[in-house]
Amino acid sequence: MKISLNSLYFPNSNPDFIEAAKSVHKHFDLNINYHEHTVRHGVWMDHVLSTSTADVVGFLDIDCIPLTKSAVMDMVKFAAKNKSIAGCAQATNHIPPMSHIFVAPCCFFIWRPLWEALGRPSFTETNRSDVCQEVCYVAEDNGVRMKALYPSFFEREPEEGVWRLHNYGLYGVGTTFQNQFYHLYQSRFQSNVDLFIQRCKEVVDGTFSTDGMFESTNFDFKGRICQFGPEQNLRVNIEGKL
């Protein structure tokens, strides 16, 4: 079985941030194809799928790192065995109905022949979908059973970001998914960059812990939860083609 693992980052990304992520990949002996482009996320994913010859294609955002050596291969094995999709769960809080839980672009693995069989649906945004969400909608419509890891813990709110995962609970700026992956959101803030670099070092050193984080299923969280209505449906358009 041929596997392709891919990660995108922009040319103006913080080099210390990139190196921190790469240190985790090296620690777990992961062979990642790094792509440095200025392009919309979904456009890049479409390009990778359309040009790949792999059986399973995996995407890991540069700010999403595995916490265990087996985390990535478990996703690959599920996608291959079930001819399906696997990754981390997300709900888009700025596009109605805001309750649809799908496999997020931060950690997304797909059996490539499935994508072909579904008609090569695009990973780009639509009026009802965020990145990756439309692919999941199409898969659901065709009876595909996917695997989504739900959030377990999330960080204190260093800079902007706690969101609802429909009726399951919450996830935040730094979120662990069932002790398998850690994803940092809002990396444009320097305090979040520092947090990510720290977490990467802890993973490599074997000292990573969720002590001091909030439980995702604790609805008594007293912090600020980000909410968006349709009129605040903000998008960052990054031009570019592959």
What order of strands is seen across the sheet that includes strand 56-60? 32-36, 3-9, 56-60, 101-111, 85-91, 147-149
**Number of residues in the chain:** 242
Decide if 111 contacts 50 (C-beta within 8 A).
Answer: no
Domain range list for the chain: 3-228
Q: What are phi and psi of 184, to 5 degrees?
A: -100, 125
Secondary structure (3-state) at 3: strand
Q: How many CB atoms lie within 10 A of CB 188?
A: 11
* pLDDT tens, the chain, 242 aa long: 999 999 999 898 899 999 999 999 999 999 999 999 988 989 999 999 999 999 999 999 999 999 999 999 999 999 999 999 999 999 987 777 878 999 999 999 999 999 999 999 999 988 888 899 999 999 999 999 999 999 999 986 655 678 889 999 998 889 999 999 999 987 767 778 899 999 999 999 999 999 999 999 987 776 767 654 333 333 334 344 55
Cα(51)–Cα(35) distance, integer angstroms: 14
Q: What is the pLDDT of residue 219?
A: 77
Q: For position 1, what pLDDT does the model report?
A: 95
Say if residues 7 and 35 touch (Cβ distance below 8 Å).
Answer: yes
Check residue 224 and give its pLDDT. Answer: 67
- Output the pLDDT for position 158: 54
213 with 156: CB under 8 angstroms?
yes
Q: Is the dihedral of CA 164, 234, 61, 116 positive or negative?
A: positive
CATH class assigned to 3-228: alpha beta
Helix (H) or strand (E) holding 59: strand 56-60
Contact 176, 151 (CB under 8 A): yes
- The span from the CA of 43 to the CA of 233, in Å, is 20
Residues β-bridged to residue 174: 184
Task: Please report the pLDDT score of residue 239 as a whole number.
Answer: 44
Report d(CA 239, CA 132) in Å as an integer: 18
Q: How far apart are CA 88 and CA 103, in angstroms?
A: 5
